[in-house]
Amino acid sequence: MQILQDKKIVLGISGGIAAYKTPELVRRLKEQGADVRVVMTEGAKAFITPLTLQAVSGNQVADSLLDTQAELAMGHIELAKWADIIIIAPATADIVARIACGMANDLLSTLCLATTAPIAITPAMNQQMWHAQATQDNIAKLTERGCLIWGPGSGEQACGDIGLGRMLEVNDIVTLSSDFFADKYLTHQHWVITAGPTREAIDPVRYISNHSSGKMGYAIAHAALRAGAKVTLITGPVAISAPTGCELIHVSSAEEMHQQALKFAPHCSTFVACAAVADYRVAKIATQKIKKSSEAMQLELVRNHDIVADVASLKHKPFMVGFAAETQNVEHYARGKLMRKNLDLIAANDVAKSGQGFNSDNNALTLFSAIDKTEIPLASKQIVANHLVSLINQHFLAKQDS
Ligand code: C5P
């Protein structure tokens, strides 16, 4: 069942240009099974019509506190009680200020006062207005009161400015909504995850690296976050953005990753080594660009630390999960690494198979413990990660009980 199935969402739209994205937002929430009722401020109606939102939501749009017919159909107190969550998107500086002050001078602000449901605010405003002390004070006040603040994003704005203040993309708002309702079975756990490749410098312009998009590690970070874990993501250079809410540690070389892993691992419950760490680094990194002087050249390489094995040999070692990307004899090599690196679990994938593994959006894994194995069938990396995180937790709990 989809996480948003039958969830009752009040979508509050205030008067910002990003309001033009809300019909798509309503459609996407409904696709996930949510029942969406739209409430618009007067300002919102200057950007998008109630008729459009009524058509996509399949429900009458509410826009007035003093409308006798609307109050008869579903009064404002009833609507405030009906909601499982109120999402305000876009949330202008004005609605943020009015909610922070506890005003009830239109339907949307009144609903926010009258509800016990969580309120998610998706700010959308000019970057200067976002940075203004008054707005920041209001956001701090709302955060303290338990409101969820989703965004804002950064980038080019409708007014031509560049900076923080863009409403999050529709996809991100849908993901955050679904994450909000996900089962929080990892609350009080801290996961440290390594992801992406490492880069071993040869000289100031060249490096040695491995294939790795970081997608699998980032998907695991997202899955652990939505299950309520605190997540530290130690990442090599990748081109994708990290899931909202994780503690993000950027590294480049294996040595840097090793240092950060040993710093965070002693305090975590579970360590997942998903990074494609370079096995060797250049013995002597040239300080200047190496010139092409001969037909062949030799580099002396020295072995890097095995990060996951070093974490597994800590006195207070966390629950340890490694990865094995293999091109042949997958089970044999994976089990060898499980034992040699002193891991609790190893997730193996056959990177020789097309359509899965490196750079792909899909993956299939086999999870080995010392005594059993579980197949996670081919699916998107996010679905595989959700499944994997839940299996890791089952093994973690079983180990604690034993
Ligand atoms: O030995 P191999 O590189 O195949 O092992 C893969 C597992 O070990 C992965 O979990 C990877 O993140 C981890 N690893 C590591 N440090 C290294 C090499 C691999 O943490 N230097």
86-103 confidence digits (pLDDT tens): 999 999 999 999 999 999
**Other C-beta atoms lying within 10 Å of the C-beta of residue 53:** 27
> Environment class of residue 231 by beta-carbon count within 10 Å: exposed (0-12), middle (13-18) or buried (19+)?
buried
d(CA 371, CA 31): 41
CATH topology of domain 190-401: Rossmann fold (3.40.50)
Ligand 1 residue neighbourhood (C-beta within 6 Å): 194, 254, 273, 275, 277, 279, 304, 306-308, 322-324, 337
Task: Give residue-wise pLDDT tens across range 248-283.
Answer: 999 999 999 999 999 999 999 999 999 999 999 999
Banded model confidence at residue 183, pLDDT cuts 50, 70, 90? very high
Tokens representing residue 281 in the block: 């680094």
The amino acid that residue 61 corresponds to is V
Domain with CATH 3.40.50.1950 in the chain: 8-181
Nearest ligand 1 atom, CA 261: 20
pTM of the shown model: 0.85
Q: What H or E segment, with its residue span, contains residue 20?
A: none
Which of 208, 260, 277 has the most ligand 1 atoms within 8 A of CB, as the residue to mutate?
Answer: 277
CB-based contacts of 371, cutoff 8 Å, min separation 6: none
Alpha helices in 104-248 (DSSP H): 107-114, 127-131, 133-144, 170-181, 215-226
Q: Which of 295, 297, 322 is nearest to 309 (CA)?
A: 322
Is domain 8-181 classified as CATH 3.40.50.1950? yes
**pLDDT (0 to 100) of residue 19:** 98
CATH 3.40.50.10300 domain residues, the chain: 190-401
